[in-house]
Amino acid sequence: MWTCKTTQYWTVVTLAGLLAVSCAPRTATGGGTEATQAQNFSIPEYPPLYNVDVQVCGNIIAPLKDGKRCITTQLQLWGPVGEAKLVRAGVTLPSVSAVQHKVAIASKGCYPAYSQPSQEQFYWADTIIQVNRGGKTTIEVKPTQLSNQQVHELVTGRLSNSSVPTFGGVGCEPAPAS
Mean pLDDT of 9-21: 45
Instruction: Let me know: does 111 contact 120? Beta carbons within 8 Å.
Output: no
- Closest listed residue to residue 131, CA positions, set 99, 86, 91: 99
Instruction: Let me know: does 59 contact 131? Beta carbons within 8 Å.
Output: yes
The reply to whether 89 falls in a domain is yes
Taking 60 as the threshold, does the pLDDT of residue 95 lie above it?
Answer: no
The reply to whether 5 falls in a domain is no
The answer to whether the predicted template modeling score (pTM) of the entire model surpasses 0.85 is no
The reply to whether 176 falls in a domain is no
- Render pLDDT for 137-149 as a digit per residue (tens, 0 to 9): 999 999 999 999 9
- Render pLDDT for 43-94 as a digit per residue (tens, 0 to 9): 899 999 999 999 999 999 898 999 999 999 899 999 999 999 988 887 766 6
The amino acid occupying position 53 is D
Distance CA 76, CA 72 (A): 14
pLDDT at 166: 42
The reply to whether 160 falls in a domain is no
Count CB neighbours of 165 within 10 A.
13
The reply to whether 4 falls in a domain is no
The reply to whether 7 falls in a domain is no
The reply to whether 6 falls in a domain is no
| Structural domain boundaries enclosing 62 | 49-155
- Give the total number of structural domains in the chain: 1
